[in-house]
Amino acid sequence: MAAGNQRLQWRPRVSGSEVADPPRGPAEPLRSAMPPPDKVQLVGPEPLALDHQCVLEHFLGLNQDDARRFYVGRMHFLAEDFMWMAPAGLRYYLPPVLEYLKSEEGKEDGDAAHGILCSLSTQIQLHSPLPPDIVALSQEICACVKQHCKRFRISPREELFREYISTIENA
């Protein structure tokens, strides 16, 4: 995370003993019934780089509903974290990213869309082969962004965008 960025902290608003419901969007077929990944599942074993520590600060202990709410207005800062997640972290936290990108809150968040493609492309380049389910989910996110690039204000002719798309589609 670049110096000067504010540290992102978020805790769900509590009303009584209940956490506020997340915004509801399209069907949630990719959601996991599993608990959030632990430290090693989220970023891998020690030693950890600063980037891995940022992932832990932002995501450790968040369930998928909390993560989905956390993305609103912050996804452009959080997209880089997906570059440093281990497969279990990607498997758990990418489905809410797809929901966010398809949602009303995320429909014009081009920085988030571009950032998540960059992170997924980097994951594929550095950690190939990724597990097939992670590749399939990455390709689904890629297809969503590609289909709606106008909405995200991303030019399909942009060289980096084309590189990200090609890397993810050919994984």
Residue 5 has pLDDT above 50, yes or no: no
pLDDT tens readout for residues 8-52: 333 333 333 333 333 334 434 467 678 999 999 999 999 999 999
Nearest to 153 by CA among 105, 107, 118, 122: 107
DSSP element (H, E) containing 97: helix 87-102
Q: Is residue 8 part of a domain?
A: no
Q: How many CB atoms lie within 10 A of CB 23?
A: 14
Range of the domain at 114: 38-169
Residue 102 has pLDDT above 70, yes or no: yes
Q: Is residue 105 part of a domain?
A: yes
Q: How many CB atoms lie within 10 A of CB 147?
A: 10
Q: Is residue 33 part of a domain?
A: no
Written as one letter, the residue type at 137 is L
Asked whether 137 and 98 are in contact (CB, 8 A), the reply is yes
Gap between the Cα atoms of 93 and 124, Å rounded: 17
Q: How many independent structural domains does the chain possess? A: 1
Q: Is residue 29 part of a domain?
A: no
Q: Is residue 3 part of a domain?
A: no
Q: Is residue 79 part of a domain?
A: yes
